[in-house]
């Protein structure tokens, strides 16, 4: 009878046998790195695989640190390793002591080739990208029904935009043929117009896990979609062909949900702020109008409508004042002129009078000289008839005629006693007074 082992004993025994085996204890294995995970401790875990099989590998920190080769996903390597059965779970694994790079893995090469070809066809061109709706009416999620991805999407959508509508098209997201189901789901969403934005994705994984998203059929379906597609595959660093073909690439499914919808509360706040700003602006506008109005209302022309006359009135007053004084001045001038004239006239008059008085005196002297009285005073006398008519000829007198003799001091009457004799006997012509 074979002995009975405990599990621990069995694992330990197999492990011992393995490590001591001359052929299988230490091996060199060729394969492709896949599902590489490096932990903060520095240990790396990955799967080494070829077309048909795979084996778990662990690369502890120290060798990894020493190795000049940095493992990357899809890398074709030659491993120097010890075979090992992990005590705790009985899993066969390789403990890697050394790594030698042998080039890119087949999957990775296919990925690069497809990417180059589709890129050349213009499938990834920026002009092909469809704009996302600002607020989608309904979101279509194409992913696995189970798992964290759809839960993350729902969680983010509910948080950001409560009330959003979501329709899930469940598809397998890994394994053979998954790409066809994914492509068919995208086509179905378009045919039935299930929504106005599509999120297609899965969680992170190894290159072969992501393979459905690196297939041409998936890329073509995404590119052909009339509904904008957000790709959400894996974790930040993994770019799939689907990512390049999508209208928008999100690093994770949660990020895709964030890109798909805005934050509703922000929008509500914005709408309310704008409404308030609108009211405030209107209040300000009215205040502006009111202040303009009151500024106008206090303008002098409205407060005292006759104000504009003030200037005129003042000028008129000034003019009338000037007019008045000018008038007075003119009067004074005129008065002065009149007075001047009168004075001149008076002077002239006085002069005339004095001239005349002088002339008169002179005339009077002349007259005096001519006066018969003056002659009489020299001893002559004047003969007149009784009527006073002067008698200058003797022949005008007859005997007995009455006559008057005028002397300087009075007159006497007489009678002709002897008429005319001869002119030469003047003695005889003498009156007998």
Q: Report the interface residues with other proteins, using CB under 8 A.
A: 134-135, 138, 145-146, 150-151, 154, 158, 161-170, 188, 192, 194, 264, 267-268, 270-272, 274-275, 277-279, 281-282, 284-286, 288-289
CB 265, min distance to other proteins, A: 9
CA 173 to chain centre: 55
- In the complex with other proteins, the residue whose CB is nearer, 281 or 314, is 281
- In the complex with other proteins, the residue whose CB is nearer, 116 or 288, is 288
- In the complex with other proteins, the residue whose CB is nearer, 290 or 301, is 290
CB 275, min distance to other proteins, A: 3
Nearest of 242, 247, 260 to residue 126 by alpha carbon: 247
CB 208, min distance to other proteins, A: 25
CB 2, min distance to other proteins, A: 45
Q: Is 306 helix (H, G, I), strand (E, B) or coil?
A: coil
Cα–Cα distance measured from residue 104 to residue 102, given in angstroms and rounded to the nearest whole number = 7
Contact assessment for residue 139 and residue 158, using Cβ atoms and an 8 Å cutoff: no
- In the complex with other proteins, the residue whose CB is nearer, 145 or 346, is 145
Residues in Cβ contact with 104 at an 8 Å cutoff, skipping those fewer than 6 apart: 74, 75, 76, 112
Cα–Cα distance measured from residue 311 to residue 266, given in angstroms and rounded to the nearest whole number = 64
Q: Is 378 helix (H, G, I), strand (E, B) or coil?
A: coil
CA distances from 413 to 37, 394, 427, 433 (A): 200, 16, 19, 8
DSSP run (H or E) holding 23: none
CB 280, min distance to other proteins, A: 8
Question: How do 197-202 and 382-384 pair as beta strands?
Answer: unpaired
Q: Which residues of 114-130 are buried (b: 16+ CB within 10 A; e: fewer)?
A: bbeebeeeebbeeeeee
Cα–Cα distance measured from residue 229 to residue 241, given in angstroms and rounded to the nearest whole number = 13
- In the complex with other proteins, the residue whose CB is nearer, 39 or 134, is 134
CB 272, min distance to other proteins, A: 6
CB 288, min distance to other proteins, A: 5
- In the complex with other proteins, the residue whose CB is nearer, 192 or 330, is 192
- In the complex with other proteins, the residue whose CB is nearer, 211 or 225, is 225
Cα–Cα distance measured from residue 343 to residue 330, given in angstroms and rounded to the nearest whole number = 20
- In the complex with other proteins, the residue whose CB is nearer, 128 or 285, is 285
CB 233, min distance to other proteins, A: 21
Cα–Cα distance measured from residue 101 to residue 92, given in angstroms and rounded to the nearest whole number = 23
Name residue, tokens 């409205």.
302
CB 146, min distance to other proteins, A: 5
DSSP run (H or E) holding 234: none
Q: Where are the beta strands (DSSP E) in 39-185?
A: 44-49, 54-59, 75-86, 91-104, 138-143, 165-170
Cα atoms in the 13 Å half-sphere on the side-chain side of 96: 31
β-partners of residue 57 are: 46, 94
- In the complex with other proteins, the residue whose CB is nearer, 32 or 181, is 181
CB 296, min distance to other proteins, A: 14
Q: Is 243 helix (H, G, I), strand (E, B) or coil?
A: helix
- In the complex with other proteins, the residue whose CB is nearer, 277 or 367, is 277
């Amino acid at each position: 009878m074979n002995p009975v082992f405990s599990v621990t004993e069995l694992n330990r025994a197999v492990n011992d046998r393995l490590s001591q085996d001359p052929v299988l204890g230490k091996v060199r294995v060729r394969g492709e790195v896949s599902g590489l995970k490096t932990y903060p401790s520095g240990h790396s875990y990955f799967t080494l695989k070829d077309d048909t099989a795979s084996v778990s590998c662990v690369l502890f920190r120290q060798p990894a640190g020493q190795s000049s080769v940095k493992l990357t996903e899809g890398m074709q390597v030659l491993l120097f390793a010890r075979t090992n059965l992990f005590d705790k779970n009985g899993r066969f694994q390789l403990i890697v002591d050394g790594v030698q790079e042998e080039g890119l893995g087949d999957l990775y090469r296919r990925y690069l080739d497809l990417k180059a070809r589709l890129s050349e066809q213009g499938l990834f061109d920026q002009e092909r990208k469809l704009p996302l709706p600002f607020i989608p009416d309904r979101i279509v999620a194409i992913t696995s029904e189970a798992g964290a991805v759809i839960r993350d999407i729902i969680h983010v959508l509910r948080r950001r935009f409560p009330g959003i509508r979501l329709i899930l098209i469940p598809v397998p997201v890994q394994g053979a043929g998954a790409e066809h189901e994914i492509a068919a789901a995208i086509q179905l969403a378009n045919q039935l117009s299930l929504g106005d934005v599509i999120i297609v994705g899965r969680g992170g994984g190894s290159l072969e896990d992501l393979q459905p998203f690196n297939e041409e059929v998936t890329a073509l379906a995404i590119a052909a979609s009339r509904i904008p597609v957000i790709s959400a595959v894996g974790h930040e660093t993994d770019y799939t062909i689907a990512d390049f073909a999508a209208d928008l690439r999100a690093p994770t499914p949660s990020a895709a949900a964030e890109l798909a919808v805005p934050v509703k509360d922000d929008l509500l706040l914005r709408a309310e702020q704008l409404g308030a700003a609108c009211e405030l602006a209107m209040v300000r506008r009215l205040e502006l109008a009111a202040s303009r109005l009151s500024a106008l209302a206090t303008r002098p022309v409205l407060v005292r409508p006759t104000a504009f006359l003030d200037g005129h009135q003042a000028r008129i007053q000034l003019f009338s004042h000037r007019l008045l004084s000018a008038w007075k001045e003119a009067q004074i001038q005129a008065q002065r002129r009149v007075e001047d004239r009168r004075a001149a006239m008076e002077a002239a008059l006085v002069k005339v009078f004095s001239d005349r008085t002088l002339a008169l005196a002179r005339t009077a002297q002349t007259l005096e000289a001519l006066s018969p009285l003056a002659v009489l005073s020299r001893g002559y006398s004047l003969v007149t008839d009784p009527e006073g008519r002067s008698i200058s000829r003797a022949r005008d007198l007859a005997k007995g005629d009455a006559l008057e003799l005028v002397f300087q001091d009075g007159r006497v009457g007489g009678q002709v006693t002897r008429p005319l004799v001869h002119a030469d006997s003047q003695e005889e012509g003498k009156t007998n007074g």
